[in-house]
Amino acid sequence: MRNIAVIGVGYVGLVTGACFADLGNRIVCLDINAEKIARLKEGEMPIYEPGLEELVERNVKAGRLFFTTSYAEALQEAEFAFIAVGTPEGVDGEADLQYVRMAAESIAEVLDHPLVIVNKSTVPVGTGDWVADIIREKRGDSAEFAVVSCPEFLREGSAIRDFMNPDRVVLGSLAPEAAEQVAQLHLPLRSTIVITDLRTAEMIKYASNAFLATRISFINEIANICEALGADVKEVASGMGYDKRIGHAFLDAGVGYGGSCFPKDVKALAHMADTHGRHPQLLAAVMEINNDQRLQVVRKARELLGELGGKQVGILGLAFKPNTDDMREAPATSIIERLLAAGVKVRAYDPVAMENARRILTGVELCPDPYTLAEGCDLLIVVTEWNEFKHLDLVRIKKLMRHAAIVDGRNIYDPPTVRSLGFAYRGIGRGYNGEGNND
C-alpha cells in the first residue's frame, strides 16, 4: 500500500483517486471546494460516470479513500501527490494554469518530507519544469521532491475501464528514479509503460488528442464531399477502416467533437505553435471544419423546413457524447444557439445531462422524455448518439409530430427504413441513402 494525495476531485482526479484506491493504496483526495468535498463525504458524486459512485463507496467503506480540503492533511503521509486540477481555456486559446500554480504553491507551503509530484492535468509543454521552479522558489534547494508528468487518457463514459486497462502509461521526468517509482504504482495494470523526459510526455498527450480530433474532422470533411458526389460516408468509412494502417476508430461522421479535452487541447497546441513561430495550419483546419459541422445541421434543418422562424424543433441529446452529463463544448449548445437566433422554438431532452442543461441553457423547453419532446415538433435533430435514441418507437414519434422530419446528426438510423415510415430525413454524408431530395 502506497500513500497518495490527489489534488482536484474533478473528472480526472476523482477517477484517478478511486481507481488507485481500488488497487489497494491509501488515497486522500483534496479539493479547495468545500461544498464538493462535503458532498463526496456524503456519497454524492459531482459528475456522472458509469460505475464511479459504486467504486467510491466501496473504497470509502474499506478505509482506503478519504476526502479533505486541507493540504497539510492530504500530504501528511503522502509519498506521491497527483495534481489533477482543471486547466481551462484562456483568452487566446492557451491553457489557463492558475489552478496548477495554486496547487504547486500550496504543496510547497506544507512540504516537509520527500515527495514525488505527478502532473496528471493536461498542461502545456514545459509545465513540469515550471512547477519545479515554483516549489524551489518557495522552499529553496533543500526541498526533496521530483516532478513526473503522467498525462491522462481517460474517455468520459468509460473512464474507469480506461484507467484499469490503459493502452499505455506515459511517464516523463528528469529524475529517472522518480519516474520508476510512479511506474511501480501502475504495474498492477499490466500495461505498456513509456518513460521519457518531461516535455516529451507532455507533448504526447497533446499530439494524441490532436490526432484523434483530426480524424473526426477528416471524416466530416469527407462526409460533406460525399453529399456533393452522392456517396455514403458510413460505407466509405467502413471500407477505409479495414485497412490496418487506418482502422475504424474515430471515423464516424457527425456534428463534430466536443467535451473538455479535444476543443481545448487542439486550441492550446495551436497556441503553443503560434507563440514559437510555427504555423499550425492543419490544426487550424481541424478546428474550422469542426465549427462548420454545427452549421451543416442548421442548413439541413432549413432544407427540410424552409423558413425556420416560428417552427418547433426537438433536440435529442445535450451531452457532448453518450454516457456522460458533460456539456462542455457540446455541439448541442452551439446548434441550439443558432436555432434560437433563427426564431425557432427549441425543446430538448438528454438521459443524464438535464441538470447541467438547466444551468446552461436559456430559452429552451426541457422535456422529461423523447415522446413528450416530439409532441407538436416540426423537426427532430439527433445530436448525441445515446442507445435510447436508437431504439425509439418511430411510428409513435411520427404520430406525435406536427411535421415528420429528422436531421440525424450522428447517423444512427437507416435512411431507407426511416423514409419508409414517412419521415423526411437528412443524415450526415449519406449520399444517395440519406441526402436525396425525394422526401
CATH number assigned to the domain comprising residue 51: 3.40.50.720
Mean pLDDT calculated for residue range 200-221? 97
Q: Is position 309 within any domain?
A: yes
State which of 149, 179, 196 marks the end of a domain.
196
| Residues belonging to the active site | 261
pLDDT exceeds 90 at position 120: yes
pLDDT higher than threshold 80 for residue 267: yes
Spatial distance between the Cα atoms of 196 and 8, rounded to a whole number of angstroms = 25
Say if residue 170 is in the same domain as residue 286: no
Domain count, the chain: 2
pLDDT digits (tens, 9 = 90+) for 243-255: 999 999 999 999 9
Question: Residue 118: inside a domain, yes or no?
Answer: yes
Q: Are residues 228 and 374 in the same domain?
A: yes
Residue 84, domain member (yes or no): yes
HEC-encoded secondary structure of 205-233 = HHHHHHHHHHHHHHHHHHHHHHHHHCCCH
> Is there a domain that residue 205 lies in?
no
Cα 251 to Cα 317: distance, rounded to the nearest angstrom: 20
Same domain, 169 and 234: no
DSSP 96: P
- Same domain as 273, residue 128: no
User: Does pLDDT of 437 surpass 80?
Assistant: no
DSSP state of 188: G
Residues 174 and 288 occupy one common structural domain = no
Q: Are residues 191 and 42 in the same domain?
A: yes
Q: What is the DSSP annotation of 21-86?
A: HHTT-EEEEE-S-HHHHHHHHTT--SS--TTHHHHHHHHHHTT-EEEES-HHHHHSS-SEEEE---
pLDDT tens track for 396-436: 999 999 999 999 999 999 999 999 999 999 999 998 765 55
Q: How far are the Cα atoms of 215, 218, 317, 407, 434 from residue 401, in angstroms, in the given order?
A: 36, 35, 18, 14, 20
Average pLDDT, the chain: 95
Domain boundary among the residues 196, 214, 242 is at: 196
Tens of pLDDT, residues 181-205: 999 999 999 999 999 999 999 999 9
Query: Is there a single domain that holds both residue 251 and residue 163?
Result: no
Domain of 365?
224-434
Q: Is residue 203 domain-resident?
A: no
Total-model pTM: 0.92
Q: What is the pLDDT of residue 436?
A: 52
Which among 196, 215, 242 is the end of a domain?
Answer: 196
Residues 331, 242: one domain? yes
Question: What pLDDT, on the 0 to 100 scale, is given for residue 138?
Answer: 87
**For residue 438, pLDDT beyond 60:** no
Position 208 in a domain: no
Q: What is the pLDDT, as a whole number, of residue 270?
A: 96
Note whether residue 39 is domain-resident: yes
Residues 136 and 66 in one domain: yes
User: Is the residue at 214 inside a domain?
Assistant: no
The least confident of 67-81, 234-248, 420-434 is 420-434
Identify whether residues 26 and 89 lie together within a single domain.
yes
pLDDT tens profile 319-361? 999 999 999 999 999 999 999 999 999 999 999 999 999 999 9
pLDDT value at residue 140: 76
Strands 169-173 and 145-149: antiparallel
Q: Please check whether residues 260 and 361 belong to one and the same domain.
A: yes
Same domain for 236 and 192, yes or no, is no
Position 55 confidence tier, pLDDT thresholds 50, 70, 90 = very high
